[in-house]
Amino acid sequence: MRHITKTTPPQEFVEYLKTPDVSFDGLSGVPKEALRQRLLEDQGYICCYCGRRIDNDKHTKIEHIKCQKNHKHLALCFKNMLASCDGGEQDRADRVLPKHKVHCDAKKANEDIPISPLDEKIEDYLMFFPDGTVKGKVDIGKELIRILGLDTDFLTIQRRNAIKNYKVLPVSDWHTEVERLKIKGSDGKYEEFCFVLQSYAELCCEIESKTPLAV
């Protein structure tokens, strides 16, 4: 998971909040599009939980960190909103991909996560491995994996493939590469699964530092 720094809500959404009987369910059209766009920009066009590439389309959900059911007063709070992939729901409905267990927003439903991507410590609780698996550090990490379904076969395979494709790229300096993966590109986007690739790059840094220099 990548730490997310939120900016400010778009003007179209701020205007919408001034309408009588305003509600999240009533949000649609331009204000909703603008809101989703801002969320995407803030988080570099990757799912707030799994890191898959997302865009401003029907597959991207506006996720409430604190669920609407138990925290009604936060349903329209910009700081409580993130952009999530559809967790496989759409894939299942469209029958494009084989059925698989849902993850992210779809899996979380009305549960609360112990720490959100808005907390800068979020990156300390999950460990990713080159075979695509993920492990949680202490109870917080384990809860994140359980509540968000981050260990579903589907995501494990996606992460494994991302690393497989990444491994063949020529990298001259792994330390620089680690730093590159931490920031958005010139298009405002993070690499898909950037924090997974970063784990691999950090592993390469470690190996490099243990390998004696050739003379």
Q: Given the rule CB under 5 A, which residues bind Zn ion?
A: 47, 49-50, 85, 104
User: In terms of CB distance, is 2 or 177 closer to Zn ion?
Assistant: 2
* Smallest separation, CB 46 to Zn ion (Å): 8
* Smallest separation, CB 104 to Zn ion (Å): 3
User: In terms of CB distance, is 38 or 52 closer to Zn ion?
Assistant: 52
User: In terms of CB distance, is 2 or 174 closer to Zn ion?
Assistant: 2
Tell me the CA distances in angstroms from 139 to 49, 102, 144, 147, one per residue in order: 17, 22, 9, 12
User: In terms of CB distance, is 146 or 204 closer to Zn ion?
Assistant: 146
* Smallest separation, CB 158 to Zn ion (Å): 10
Please count the other Cβ atoms lying within 10 Å of the Cβ belonging to residue 192. Answer: 21
* Smallest separation, CB 49 to Zn ion (Å): 5
